[in-house]
């Protein structure tokens, strides 16, 4: 997405927003997933989700067998400490 008002080229973790389409809520959850057809097994793609969309997004990934983990954002950031979300 290219939104002219914000520059989030590097490290946008302070403005973590839900990944659900059209949602501007602050993200609370991180959904870590992996598509085995595209990614190596240890690779983790991440989606961010607000409280409302966590279930919707995790179901979307879950039915495809992609979903690996659902973690609180603050816990996730504590784990990776600084490395930007890979999307
Ligand atoms: Zn949302």
So what's the pLDDT on residue 56? Answer: 97
Q: Are 39 and 58 in contact (CB under 8 A)?
A: no
Q: Is the pTM of this model over 0.85?
A: no
Mean pLDDT of 70-80: 93
E strand residue ranges, the chain? 29-33, 45-49, 67-72
Sheet containing 45-49: which strands, arranged edge to edge?
Answer: 45-49, 29-33, 67-72
- Residue 51 maps to a domain: yes
Instruction: Please tell me the total count of domains within the chain.
Output: 1
Tell me, yes or no, whether 86 lies in a domain.
no
At 12-62, the pLDDT tens digits run 445 799 999 999 999 999 999 999 999 999 999 999 999 999 999 999 999
pLDDT of residue 12: 47
Residue 47 alpha carbon to ligand 1 centre in Å: 11
What would the two tokens of residue 9 be? 């080229």
Distance from Cα 52 to the centre of ligand 1, integer Å: 6
Tokens (6 digits) for 5: 């008002």
Domain assignment of residue 61, yes or no: yes
Query: How many angstroms is it from 50 CA to the middle of ligand 1?
Result: 4
Closest-CA residue to 32 (of 17, 10, 54)? 54
Domain extent at residue 55: 17-80
């Amino acid at each position: 997405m290219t939104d002219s008002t914000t520059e989030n080229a590097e490290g946008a973790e302070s403005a973590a927003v839900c990944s659900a389409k059209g949602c501007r809520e602050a993200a609370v959850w991180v959904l870590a997933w992996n598509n085995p057809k595209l990614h190596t097994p240890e690779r983790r793609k991440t989606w961010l989700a607000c409280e409302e969309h966590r279930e919707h997004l995790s179901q979307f990934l879950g039915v495809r067998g992609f979903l690996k983990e659902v973690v609180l954002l603050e816990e996730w950031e504590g784990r990776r400490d600084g490395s930007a979300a890979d999307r």
